[in-house]
Amino acid sequence: MKSVLCILFTFGLWLLLTWSLDPKVVGVGLMMAILVATLLAHIYPDNPHKALDPRRWFWACIYFPYFLVLCIKSNLDVAYRVLHPDLPIRPGIVKIRTRLTSEMAKTFLANSITLTPGTMTVDIVGQDLYIHWINVHGVDAEEHTRRIVRPFEGLLRRVFE
Amino acid sequence: MSETIAQWIIGVGLMFDLLGCLGLVRLPDVYNRLQAGTKCVTLGTCMIMFGTFLYGVAALDRPQMAVQALLCAVFVLLTSPVAAHAIARGAYRAGARLWEGSVIDRLGEDLHGVRPPAERAEPADQPAAVHHFTESES
Amino acid sequence: MSPFLVFVAGGLLLAAAMCLLRIGRGPTAPDRTVAIDILGTLMAGFCCLLAIWTGQDFYMSIAIAWSLVSFIGTIALAKYLEGRQYDE
- pLDDT on residue B91: 87
- Domain membership flag for residue B79: yes
Q: Which residue of C has its CA nearest to A18?
A: C61
Which of the residue ranges A108-112, A153-157, B90-94, B116-120 has the most confident prediction, judged by mean pLDDT?
A: A108-112
pLDDT tops 90 at residue C13: yes
Number of structural domains in chain B:
1
- pLDDT on residue B50: 93
pLDDT tops 50 at residue B36: yes
Question: What are the pLDDT digits (tens) for A93-150?
Answer: 888 888 888 888 888 888 888 888 888 888 888 888 888 888 777 667 777 777 777 7
Which is more confidently placed, C75 or B132?
C75
Of A31, B78, A111, B42, residue with least CA distance to C68? B78
Distance CA C62, CA C58 (A): 7
Average pLDDT value over all residues in chain B? 78
Question: What are the pLDDT digits (tens) for A53-89?
Answer: 888 888 888 888 998 998 898 889 888 888 888 888 8
Domain containing B10 equals 2-122
Q: C79 vs B10: CB contact, 8 Å cut-off?
A: no
Residue among C1, C20, C23, C31 with most chain B CBs within 10 A, to mutate = C31
The answer, for B23 touching chain A at a CB cutoff of 8 Å, is yes
- Domain membership flag for residue B134: no
The residue ranges of every structural domain in chain C are 3-83
Distance CA A12, CA A20 (A): 12
Residue B132 contacts by C-beta under 8 Å, 6 or more apart in sequence?
A: B94, B95, C84, C85, C88
- Domain membership flag for residue B137: no
Question: What are the pLDDT digits (tens) for C17-34?
Answer: 999 999 998 788 888 989
Average pLDDT over residues C2-28: 90
pLDDT bucket at B123, cuts 50 / 70 / 90? very low
- Domain membership flag for residue B55: yes
Average pLDDT over residues C49-78: 90
